[in-house]
Chains A and B, each alone.
Chain A
Amino acid sequence: MTETTSRVHLTTSAERLASFEPVLDVRSLHVFYDDFEAVRGVDATFGRRQITAMIGPSGCGKSTVLRCFNRMNDLVPGARVEGTLTYHGMDLYAPEVDPIEVRRRIGMVFQKPNPFPKSIYDNIAYGPRVNKMKLNELDDVVQQALEKAALWDEVKDQLDKSALALSGGQQQRLCIARCIAVQPEVILMDEPCASLDPLATAKIEDLMQELANDYTIIIVTHNMQQAARVSDRTAFFTAEVDEAGVRYGRLIEMDDTQKIFTNPADQRTEDYISGRFG
């Protein structure tokens, strides 16, 4: 539906899985909120230009893990991250690392669309402006970002209109465009369709397939069908209770989406997938 102009060939999931080039790597990750250990011992690797879904029941730490990748947990008072997270082999939590630089390369789309109370144009231009990117033509950057987010045709005549006047689905695509305008390599999405209707959701899912041509996408979703539809690889998290009665989140298994949904290695995954969970 969004294909008004002819686009380059879209990679298929099989093509994207054919080569695996690690971008983000997590080793024995533990995340604490004050004394509460929300995530215990996660090991995972995320491939370049692949869509990886993180699924699992509510409260199992999916968002917590996701926020580690762009250092957004730094903003949560009392949050503490242990373990090793590397981005192209660089330690994301090394003392000399500037979280601002991390967030420029690893962008984020939030659960609830959060456009700035500014015009559509200023929303997109915000990232390039604050990052003082060398831009000959800001107008072009804005247009390209909106095109990539499949929003250009809908808003090209009203760029100076308030972004808050857009529909929820448009707002979320605006947020994706805003993220793209900074030219990140990785896009983190935390339940990006949770507040959208099915049509708007379908548009975002289509969009993700197009974005996978250029970007590495990690999406948190509690919607298993969505994970099955859009992702190349899937990580299944769940919450468990240890001998001491303490609840914590952990990664059960991570594999090609096809395999997770047809032939999971772990019984808990199978129970969750088949709806036998809780």
Chain B
Amino acid sequence: MSAVQTTRAPEPVLSLAGKGESVGDRVFRYLLLTGLVVAIVFLVTLITFVILRGLPRLDSRIWQNMPTLRKPEMAGAQSAIMGTIWVVGTTALVSIPLGVAAAVYLEEFANPKRRVNRLIELNIQNLAAVPSIVYGILGLGIFVRGMGLGFTVLAAALTLTLLILPTVIIATREALRAVPQSIRHGSLALGATKLQTIMRQVLPAAIPGIATGQILALSRAIGEAAPLLLLGGLAFVTFNPDGLLSDYTVLPIQIYNWISNPKEEFRILASATIVVLLVILLAMNAFAIYLRNRFQKRI
């Protein structure tokens, strides 16, 4: 014991120089950076290429004119733009309440210890990974034929809803889980019911996360062509949808049609239309970010 007491304090440190970053550290850092660079380079190349190629046709004709095969210089994508708005808008209207309800049930009511609930949870994760064409087949069987909806906006929107629902549920659950437990307890301890707590505290606090997840899921739906090819979206449509039971086409399918056309003018038009699709996606993502910031500030 006394030996400890007689030990002298260490001499004052004269230098704080260290070994610096080792070679291994540096290599690892560059590897990480490479991953990022590869991703960015491809994205930038793609966007530049599409924009340059589509530039000659990037004008108001795209949204003012209908598609036509005879005069490529007069062709536009108005029916596809309107079709996309109709289909994705309907998808949003159906998937938001369904997804939020399912997530609230799983997160706030279901007992995680019960086997059924664990099974449901696992399956939702799996469903999110199912290829979209499978949903197309499902939609064809259930909505188009089974319920007799035919090749309509409604059948397409319901199918896309099934497609994005797992993603929406997972994102919403994450947002709900991020609401601190202390908020729920604080509310319940004041004599609020569980429903009041969810409606007045948990959901409002989770809105930024829910909105972000929902918009990201919808942007996936906007870009989907595969399932809609099975659902009648392939048709050459020269009119805008006028309701849920109207025929339709959507941007990815219109693009697909033009790309496979031998005439060069149509391929250029396809590039221009891709830019329109990208701009819509960008706008939606920007809106998601805006929503998140706005709600975060209000809190």
Contacts and interface: CB of A to CB of B under 8 A. Distances in A.
Contact of A126 (B111, B182, B187): B187
A72 B183 CA distance: 13
For this complex, into which size category does the number of interface residues on chain A fall?
20 to 34
B113 interface: yes
Contact of A130 (B182, B183, B192, B299): B192
Interface in B241-299: 299
Interface string B100-129: 000000000001010000000000000000
Contacts of A130: 187, 190-193, 196, 200
A16 interface: no
B75 interface: no
Most buried by A among B187, B188, B190, B205: B190
A164 interface: yes
A114 interface: yes
B189 interface: yes
A122 to B, nearest CB: 10
B210 to A, nearest CB: 15
Contacts of A107: 189-190
A175 B185 contact: no
A90 interface: no
Interface residues of B, number: 19
A253 B124 CA distance: 53
A110 B185 contact: yes
A72 B188 contact: yes
Contact of B113 (A77, A127, A182): A77
A75 B200 contact: no
Interface string A107-119: 1101010111110
B170 to A, nearest CB: 22
Interface of A: 70, 72, 75, 77, 100-101, 103-104, 107-108, 110, 112, 114-118, 126-127, 130-131, 162, 164, 175, 178-179, 182
22 contacts: A72-B185, A100-B192, A101-B191, A103-B188, A107-B189, A110-B185, A110-B186, A110-B189, A112-B182, A114-B180, A114-B182, A114-B186, A116-B183, A117-B205, A126-B192, A130-B187, A131-B192, A164-B299, A175-B186, A178-B186, A178-B190, A182-B190
Interface of B: 111, 113, 180, 182-183, 185-193, 196, 200-201, 205, 299
Given A103-B188, A178-B186, 17 more contacts: A70-B189, A77-B113, A100-B191, A100-B193, A101-B191, A103-B189, A110-B182, A114-B182, A114-B186, A117-B205, A127-B192, A130-B190, A130-B193, A131-B192, A178-B190, A179-B190, A182-B191
